[in-house]
Structure 1
Amino acid sequence: MKILSIQSAVAYGHVGNSAAVFPLQRIGVDVVPVYTVNFSNHTGYGAWRGPMIDPSDVREVITGIRERGIMPQIDAVLSGYQGGEGIADVIIDAVAQLKAENPDAVYACDPVMGNAKSGCFVAPAIPDLLRDRVVPVADIITPNQFELGYLTGTEPADLESTLASVDAAMAMGPSTVLVTSVERPDRDEGTIEMLAVDGKGAWLVTTPHLPMKANGSGDVTAALFTAHYVGTGDAKLALERTVSSVFDLLQTTLDADDRELRLIEAQERYANPRMQFAARQVR
């Protein structure tokens, strides 16, 4: 499998492509990374250095890749944090070019905007751009519960309302939705959930809620789910593999008392997930 991953990059820490590429490689995916920013560290520190890459330069890199004749080999495009609003057009055009050369390829969009605790942390134009232009051309989206609500203009809370929000998102274009950080009011105390929905059904998986904040964990989640789903076509299996790997990555990071993901130390859990969490069908 080959994935074109258009995301941010940081020198220190693991977010964007700096979080997604290695886990994908560890499960056997050939990754073609294209960078949208080249920062010293993620923006969660409140200070960083380095450039936001001009959209015309990102487009040039993708054009050069296309000129090498590899587009027909690419199975999926993956995108995450969009530093500036001009990147959206570059991604949309890349997806169109890819599908013209490989109609079976899919586009997986992680519509990064923010979360319920922090609110939106992207440029003001980005959420509407994602909702109105990017998500409609995506095949797979991987929002958290907060982002799902923004995209659809709904308030997902319990399972029923979250599924209704997913249906609204799928009506916009995507055929598969992974909802991360699902926090139903009636869930068991000390747990958090993840929900995967496609045309075959909906599956929910529950894990312990680890007491930590880990920048980049959503990027790893989106990457692994995309690869597992594209490779198997099985949303339940892709969900279980992804959750198993990401939980062990977070547990490894928590045990190390580290702010940055222990991406390298947890690598065996990407290649050989323990499958310790079973998803249940909820629709």
Structure 2
Amino acid sequence: MKILSIQSAVAYGHVGNSAAVFPLQRIGVEVLPVYTVNFSNHTGYGAWRGPLISPDDVREVLLGIEERGVLPQIDVVLSGYQGGEGIADVILEAVERVKVANPDAVYSCDPVMGNAKSGCFVAPAIPVLLRDRVVPAADLITPNQFELGFLTGTEPDTLESTLASVELVRATGPRTVLVTSVERPDREDGTIEMLAVDDSGAWLVQTPHIPMKANGSGDVTAALFTAHYRRTGDLADALARTTSSVFDLLTRTHESGERELQLVESQEAYAHPRMQFTPRRVA
């Protein structure tokens, strides 16, 4: 499998491609990383150095890849955080060109906007751009519950309302949806859930909630779920494998006391997930 991953990159820590590439490689996926920024560290520190890469420069890198004759081999285009409005056009152009070269290729979009605790942390134009242009072009999306609410103009909280919101966003284009950070008011205390839906049905998985903020964990989740699902087409299995790997990554990170994901130290969790959580069918 080959994944063209168009995302940010940092030298220190693990977000964007700096979070997604290694776990994908560890499960045997060939990744072509294309960077949209090249920062010293993620912006959560409040200070960083390095350049935003202009849309034209990103486009040039993609053109160079195309000139190597690689596009027919691409199985997935993956995108995440979009720092500026111009990069969306570049990503959508890349998706179109890849799908012309390989009609079986899919586009997986993590529509990063924010979360329930922090609110929106992207430029004001980005959520609208994602909702109106990018998400409808995707085959698979991985929003958190907060982002799903914006995409659909709803306030999903219960399982029923979250499922209803998923169906609304599926009607706009993407047939497969992974909802992360699902927090139902009637769930068990100290737990958090993920919900995956495609044409075959819906599956919910619950894990203990690890009390920490982990920048980049969503990028790892989107990457692993996309790869597992693309490889097998088995929604429940992809959800179980991803959940197991990410839970062990977050547990190791929390126990380390470090702020950055213990991405390399957790590599066995990607290659050989313990499968300690069993999704249940909910629709």
Q: TM-score, normalised by structure 2?
A: 1.00
Whole-angstrom distance in 2 between the partners of 1:140 and 1:112: 14
> 1:263-278 residue pairs with structure 2 within 5 A?
263-278=263-278
Work out whether 1:154 is the aligned partner of 2:154. yes
Q: CA deviation at 1:277?
A: 0.1
Q: CA deviation at 1:183?
A: 0.2
Work out whether 1:248 is the aligned partner of 2:248. yes
Aligned-residue CA RMSD (Å): 0.3
Q: CA deviation at 1:110?
A: 0.1
Q: CA deviation at 1:166?
A: 0.2
Whole-angstrom distance in 2 between the partners of 1:254 and 1:169: 33
State the identity as a percent.
79
Residue in structure 1 matched with residue 113 of structure 2 by the alignment: 113
Secondary structure at the aligned position of 2:195 is classed as: strand
Residue in structure 2 matched with residue 177 of structure 1 by the alignment: 177
Residue in structure 1 matched with residue 39 of structure 2 by the alignment: 39
Whole-angstrom distance in 2 between the partners of 1:41 and 1:175: 34
Secondary structure at the aligned position of 1:103 is classed as: coil
Q: CA deviation at 1:176?
A: 0.1
Instruction: Spell out structure 1 runs of 4+ moving beyond 3 A.
Output: none
Whole-angstrom distance in 1 between the partners of 2:103 and 2:265: 37
Unaligned runs of 5+ residues in structure 2 are: none
Q: CA deviation at 1:124?
A: 1.1
Work out whether 1:163 is the aligned partner of 2:159. no
Whole-angstrom distance in 2 between the partners of 1:105 and 1:184: 34
1:231 alignment partner AA = R
Whole-angstrom distance in 1 between the partners of 2:246 and 2:172: 28
Whole-angstrom distance in 1 between the partners of 2:26 and 2:133: 32
Residue in structure 2 matched with residue 87 of structure 1 by the alignment: 87
Unaligned runs of 5+ residues in structure 1 are: none
Residue in structure 1 matched with residue 12 of structure 2 by the alignment: 12
Secondary structure at the aligned position of 1:52 is classed as: coil
Whole-angstrom distance in 2 between the partners of 1:49 and 1:114: 22
Write out per-residue CA displacement over residues 37-72 of structure 1, whole angstroms, 9 at most, x where no aligned residue: 000100111111111100000000001000100101
Work out whether 1:24 is the aligned partner of 2:24. yes
Whole-angstrom distance in 2 between the partners of 1:236 and 1:35: 31
Whole-angstrom distance in 1 between the partners of 2:108 and 2:67: 23
Whole-angstrom distance in 2 between the partners of 1:263 and 1:46: 22
Residue in structure 2 matched with residue 145 of structure 1 by the alignment: 145
